[in-house]
Amino acid sequence: MNSINDYTHFALDIKDENIIFTDYQEELRGGRRAKVYYGTLETPIKQCPTCHSAALVRNGSARVSIRYLAVDASRPVYLDLRKQRLRCQRCHATVMATTPLVERHCHISNAVKQKVRIELTRQLAMTEIAADTGASPNTVARELTAMPMPQTHLQQAGLPHNLAFDEFRGVGSHLHFICLNNDNHQIFQILAQRTRHTVTEYFSQFSPAERAQVHSVTIDLNYHYQEIIRQLFPNALIILDGFHLCQMATRAFNQLRAQTAKQFATNSREYRCLKFGWKQYLKASEQLSSRRYYDVHLHEWISPLEKVH
């Protein structure tokens, strides 16, 4: 390792021998100190890809700046390359040098995109991933959209006797359909879409005898799921998830509490009890303490149990 070219190839882990580095500098790019590696990108092509003639001559070059992977995101790395261009003297076609480091017509290296995809598997915001990888949030969003969607596969073991339907937000912020085996809480199937047509088409692949053996299907308050179950599983009992029922009851109770509080004056004792003690009304009676404390809203010593009563 006795040249800047060998050192740069080793430091950046670049295997493309067609890139020859000639210089290295630190410059201001985008308001930040950046490491810029200068070099040329030559093409190993000896024959014209159009007419297969060997009459290729140099025809200038094109300068490109490629965003490369950096150890420290605050110090971005750029590859400033001059891409060699050849021209065929026979058919006048031109050939531009290419490198596997970056896709055609793109200025972000594949190494940066690969790191973005790895970071997308973690529970991080797009802005955090962009800051860690040195890419823009738009680049992170494009890579998320380009990631493969979940594939559907017909289960060969048959339908479980008890199913559970729901949806979740996955790749590209799209809602996907998920089906669970309600006996062991294991994932039975994931579909790329949650539309009625997609779900119906998938479960229609099972025979009517298999679908008739389904005893129950647990769902949320999605009305379309109820229609699908009645159509495909004639013997299944529709069970509403207890979480959503409790959520509806809590929401209705809070609305009633707010409406009742508005009937009193804002400086009244009743209004202050209903306004500031709402968490205590949602607790079970055995969880309410009888120990008194000084309530700054009521300006008196009172226990949570007394306040609820």
At 179, which CATH number?
Answer: 3.30.420.10
Q: Is residue 61 part of a domain?
A: yes
Q: Is residue 154 part of a domain?
A: no
State how far the Cα of 302 lies from the Cα of 164, in Å rounded to an integer.
46
Residues 16 and 102 in one domain: yes
Q: Is residue 281 part of a domain?
A: yes
Residues 8 and 91 in one domain: yes
State how far the Cα of 128 lies from the Cα of 119, in Å rounded to an integer.
9
Q: Is residue 299 part of a domain?
A: yes
Paired sense of beta strands 216-219 and 237-240, if any: parallel
Give the confidence band of 232 by pLDDT, cuts at 50, 70, 90. Answer: very high
Q: Is residue 156 part of a domain?
A: no
| Residue at a domain's end among 44, 73, 107 | 107
Residues 20 and 89 in one domain: yes
Span 143-170, average pLDDT: 74
pLDDT in tens, 214-231: 999 999 888 889 999 999
Could you tell me if 22 and 38 are in contact, meaning their C-beta atoms sit under 8 angstroms apart? yes
Residues 84 and 38 in one domain: yes
* Angle at alpha carbon of residue 57, lines to 53 and 58, rounded to 5°: 145
Residues 190 and 219 in one domain: yes
Evaluate if residue 154 carries a pLDDT over 50. no
Task: Give me the chain's average pLDDT, please.
Answer: 86
Could you tell me if 270 and 256 are in contact, meaning their C-beta atoms sit under 8 angstroms apart? no
Residues 99 and 16 in one domain: yes
Specify burial of residue 131 (Cβ count, 10 A radius: 0-12, 13-18, 19+). middle
Helix axes 137-146, 110-120, angle to 10 degrees: 80
Residues 101 and 194 in one domain: no
At 80 the three-state DSSP class reads strand
Residues 172 and 217 in one domain: yes
Could you tell me if 63 and 80 are in contact, meaning their C-beta atoms sit under 8 angstroms apart? yes
Q: Is residue 40 part of a domain?
A: yes
State how far the Cα of 142 lies from the Cα of 137, in Å rounded to an integer.
9
What is the per-residue pLDDT for 148? 67
Q: Which two tokens stand for residue 292?
A: 């008194």
How many domains, in total, are found in the chain? 3
Residues 171 and 102 in one domain: no
What is the per-residue pLDDT for 301? 92
State how far the Cα of 58 lies from the Cα of 61, in Å rounded to an integer.
8
Evaluate if residue 233 carries a pLDDT over 90. yes
- Paired with 300 in beta bridges are 295
- Paired with 179 in beta bridges are 165, 189
Evaluate if residue 193 carries a pLDDT over 70. yes
What letter does residue 304 receive in the DSSP assignment? H
Span 145-152, average pLDDT: 64
| Residue at a domain's end among 189, 214, 240 | 240
Residues 35 and 102 in one domain: yes
Residues 176 and 218 in one domain: yes
What is the per-residue pLDDT for 116? 87
State how far the Cα of 292 lies from the Cα of 304, in Å rounded to an integer.
7
What is the per-residue pLDDT for 282? 87
Residues 275 and 190 in one domain: no
CA distance between the termini of the chain? 83
Q: What is the pTM of this model?
A: 0.50
The residue range of the domain holding 39 is: 4-107
Which residues, at least 6 apart from 188, have a Cβ–Cβ distance to it below 8 Å? 155, 160, 163, 179, 180, 181
Which residues, at least 6 apart from 174, have a Cβ–Cβ distance to it below 8 Å? 149, 192, 193
134 vs 247, residue with greater confidence: 247
Q: Is residue 14 part of a domain?
A: yes
pLDDT in tens, 47-69: 888 888 888 888 888 888 888 88
Give the confidence band of 300 by pLDDT, cuts at 50, 70, 90. Answer: confident
Q: Is residue 147 part of a domain?
A: no
